[in-house]
Chains A and B, each alone.
Chain A
């Protein structure tokens, strides 16, 4: 049975995008489509492999390689990557991004990004403090006799728990205000990246809240 025209043109359009992406010439929208297609379409993966194999052979015949070896390599690496924590790097702040990249034609999207950028820092800070307060509610029952041995263990091992009766000390972790602010500033982009990812990513990013709570859990 012949392939319908619409499927064929869609498939050719996907391959055109892959070719441009291979050379770093895809627009951000095209790149987004390619990333989604890579996850869903085996033909896209095969095409990506073929294009790069062609490029390698053009550079040198000794880069020609039986596809079975490439496939086995990827399958093995996939298994190892599945055991790795997902990498997540903070995105550049809006101002830095605007300075680093040419203006984008899509004005509403640009405005939304700028608006989000203005709020990301303060929101991340606020979220950080909320998490600390939430953490206090977890730590305090133990330090008030609910579980003496656990509290004493925590007190022995964690600087956060040594002043458990004083919320201010707990929140600051016996750091100076300047140190606390520096730590919060350092953390803010990561919190923002986590939140951004949780809101926008096409896949689930589990545990961003757990990660925040772990900041106030005493190390055992």
Chain B
């Protein structure tokens, strides 16, 4: 039996609210890229984007007990990201040095601690090449899927339909939808794996 949740993140959010900080990491991995892109459209300085994204997730984590699920989690998270970016821009105009220090979580007493990130390598030629390679691999893998699998994952990921809605559109049971989406992801992930694995095998 499936649990029909209007918010796909409800189970994760509830788990974090019960005190499981590691479950919050799952939300971070899910939304980091979208949050960084959103912030990147507001903040010109590429090096600041990751720091503001970090601050966004920390603020979201602190505020999570007050999250009442009146909107989807990602809508709520986007709002925090926009507000955090706006505040950073205002603070930056007023006091650039203090703001940068605060965003990067600098702690003079602990030289090993690095709250913020190293200057981003997201814009290095190697990183750009890796990104393009990942995009090309995913698109090629999608093109190679059977029609059923491609339609199922497209309706889910691009159109944002629930399993129930997809089952209506594709005229098949929800269990079949679930299976098709899984098989589509597996087929794409299989092609991606060489690009994502480290030499040691485990990255995370």
Cβ of A185 under 8 Å from chain B: no
Q: Check A71/B203 contact, CB under 8 A, given A54-B185, A57-B135.
A: yes
Cβ of A166 under 8 Å from chain B: no
Distance between Cα atoms of A148 and B75 in the complex (Å) = 55
Cβ of B131 under 8 Å from chain A: yes
**Are A59 and B158 closer than 8 Å at their CB atoms?**
yes
Could you tell me the distance in whole angstroms from the C-beta of A102 to the nearest C-beta in chain B? 8
Residue from B65, B138, B139 in contact with A87 in the complex, judged by beta carbons closer than 8 Å: B65
Cβ of B80 under 8 Å from chain A: no
| Residues on A with beta carbons closer than 8 Å to the beta carbon of B192 | 50, 53-54
Residue of B nearest to A26 (CB): B11
Cβ of B86 under 8 Å from chain A: no
**Are B127 and A84 closer than 8 Å at their CB atoms?**
no
Residue from A23, A39, A201, A205 in contact with B156 in the complex, judged by beta carbons closer than 8 Å: A23
A contact patch SS: helix
| Residues on B with beta carbons closer than 8 Å to the beta carbon of A62 | 37
**Are B11 and A42 closer than 8 Å at their CB atoms?**
no
Residue from A56, A63, A66, A81 in contact with B24 in the complex, judged by beta carbons closer than 8 Å: A81
Residue from B115, B134, B156, B203 in contact with A79 in the complex, judged by beta carbons closer than 8 Å: B115
Distance between Cα atoms of A130 and B12 in the complex (Å) = 34
Chain B interface bracket (under 10, 10 to 19, 20 to 34, 35 or more): 35 or more
**Are A64 and B132 closer than 8 Å at their CB atoms?**
yes
| Residues on B with beta carbons closer than 8 Å to the beta carbon of A196 | 18
**Are B203 and A46 closer than 8 Å at their CB atoms?**
yes
**Are B163 and A42 closer than 8 Å at their CB atoms?**
no
Residue from A20, A46, A84, A91 in contact with B196 in the complex, judged by beta carbons closer than 8 Å: A46
| Residues on A with beta carbons closer than 8 Å to the beta carbon of B142 | 58
> Apart from A50-B193, A69-B122, A77-B57, what are 19 other A-B pairs with CB-CB below 8 Å?
A19-B181, A21-B11, A21-B12, A23-B181, A24-B11, A26-B3, A31-B12, A46-B204, A47-B189, A52-B30, A64-B131, A65-B122, A66-B126, A70-B33, A73-B28, A73-B50, A80-B115, A87-B21, A87-B65
Interface residues of B (CB under 8 A from A): 1-5, 7-12, 15-26, 28-30, 32-34, 37, 50, 53-54, 57-58, 61-62, 64-66, 105, 113-118, 120-122, 126-127, 130-132, 134-135, 138-139, 142, 153-154, 156-158, 162-163, 178, 181-182, 185-186, 188-189, 192-193, 195-197, 202-204
- Which 3 pairs show the lowest CB-CB distances between chains A and B? A24-B8, A45-B204, A89-B65
A-B contact list, 7 entries, CB within 8 Å: A19-B185, A48-B30, A51-B189, A65-B131, A76-B116, A77-B57, A81-B58
